[in-house]
Structure 1
């Protein structure tokens, strides 16, 4: 109970004064309770980096070098700076784009490999793996936690907006991400406005403001783990309620697994569930991109 209290306290910004005065029976706190105004969903999730259980549940990625198709690109961002991303262009001219958003490790070679997998499976779609860490990549959980905590919302949004401008005015954009990137996948769909045609989020923190969810131009596929202590079933249930209140469609696939079950470098990796989730994501993206075959 003490660990749960500590974790939820890190996720929440305030506790009511009345509740704080009850010393004998502390109030039940939900990890899906709303944070104070000004702290968005991705910032709340970043607070988990201070939790030892969360950090300890992520083994450092094994050494890996990607040597396949694709190249690093640079584009202007809406804050007057520039950003880099890993791009694999479609072999035919296309306005369809899949934005791939990395985990808390950063844009490493594993993410480039994942981008290449989708490039091979989604013919006619341009793949862009965004770099929300501005070139920094972590090799240990401690480094990853610091990088995730260091992300400024305004900068991340400027990078995403810059990528949307790079894609062009006629772009049809879907997004996919895991963990840290799962939350930012949903934020990307929100920022994309009418360009958004799809959003897949793996065990990422959902947006909690119904007013924002009402602006979504696409449905959402949410992939979660029932054993996840952080993005837990209660958080997922609240997300479903919020999406219903916003009159938006969300499809939830929940697996009897733990957080980051789709990451091969994670000790809780499940090959079975990972394969099933990938198949579901692929089917969803093909449908939303209106791809043939």
Structure 2
């Protein structure tokens, strides 16, 4: 009888420990965004990307372990002099394609080569070239694996790293989730039209301000979603700066026919200024 009671108590402790483990995998901003792929209106906002081949010379493929025992892959622009500053870049729902590598290079250059810019492969090597496959990849991505990749990146950067994040679309939501996982090492998160976290208790654990760049014509991350995000961040006592553009979802993607160069330039100006400030640059 004593052995049985001990076993029951032990199971209770294990369950409690699991409940206290931070996770991006409750129902859940990530799942909610993936569910948007069930909407034809949302899918149709993503025209198939135009062909593009990245030909930069400074970035390199890297891999490192994740807590789930698997390898994480990414594309790294290493700071020109050793630095503990990192920018994690999160892909759109297409995967880590050449457009993301190009954007990562632009961020790297505009940060003066003083920050390690790491674009993370959230699909483990898979890349979609049409919206049907992108929808399937996003919905099929295991939430536990997404979290393991983000935790692996945190470990790769090291305990002394100061980490900012940025992402678009699916990656916009992952940018915020990564910021939550990075804890006290998080110095700022940029979200381009990504699904916000709605759990106020989780938002209370954010260690840094958030910059949100949204589109007023977005049929998924619509103005009502953004309004709720503002209210939740205020309730959590956290700093959120939001800019909304008269544009469609995906307006900053140059491979998208609805690409809006004016909105993209303005949004990028806010993003790079935010990042430079958070990294302590003049």
* TM-score, scaled to structure 1: 0.86
Task: Quote the residue 1:23 is aligned against.
Answer: none
* Residues 93-172 of structure 1: pairs in structure 2 closer than 5 A: 93-123=82-112, 124-172=114-162
Q: Which residue of 1 aligns with 2:172?
A: 182
2:212 is matched with which residue: 200, 210, 222?
A: 222
**Secondary structure in structure 2 of the residue aligned to 1:269:** coil
Which consecutive aligned stretches of 4+ in structure 1 deviate over 6 angstroms post-superposition? Answer: none
Q: How far apart are the structure 2 equivalents of 1:178 and 1:260?
A: 8
CA contact (8 A) 1:97 1:173 kept: yes
Partner of 1:49: 37
Q: Deviations over 1:216-253 (max 9, x none)?
A: 00000000011111111110010000000100000000
Aligned-partner SS, 1:98: strand
| Structure 1 contact 57–267 (Cα < 8 Å) conserved | no
Check conservation: 2:41, 2:219, Cα contact below 8 A.
no
Q: Secondary structure at the residue paired with 1:216?
A: coil
Partner of 1:31: none
Match of 2:59 in 1: 70
Q: Aligned-residue CA RMSD in angstroms?
A: 1.0
Q: Partners in 2 of 1:142 and 1:287 — Cα distance?
A: 38
Q: CA deviation at 1:38?
A: 3.7
Task: Tell me, yes or no, if the aligned pair for 1:208 and 1:239 is still in contact at 8 Å.
Answer: yes
Q: CA deviation at 1:101?
A: 0.2
Deviations 1:17-68 (A, max 9, x none): xxxxxxxxxxxxxxxxxxxx94111101101112222112211111111121
2:182 aligned counterpart, secondary structure: helix
**Any unmatched runs of 5+ in structure 1?**
1-36
Task: Quote the Cα distance in structure 2 between the aligned partners of 1:107 and 1:60.
Answer: 15
C-alpha distance in 2 between matches for 1:167 and 1:143? 31
Listed one character per residue, the Cα deviations across residues 70-91 of structure 1 (whole Å, up to 9, x for unaligned) are 1110000011111100000010
Q: 2:238 aligns to what? A: 248
Distance 1:229 1:144 in 2: 17
Residue 191 (structure 1) aligned with residue 181 (structure 2):
yes
2:251 touches 2:264 (CA, 8 Å); kept in 1? yes
Tell me the distance in 1 between the aligned counterparts of 2:45 and 2:26.
28
Could you tell me which residue of structure 1 aligns to residue 79 of structure 2?
90
Q: Displacement, 1:268?
A: 2.1
Gapped regions of structure 2 (runs ≥ 5): 1-24
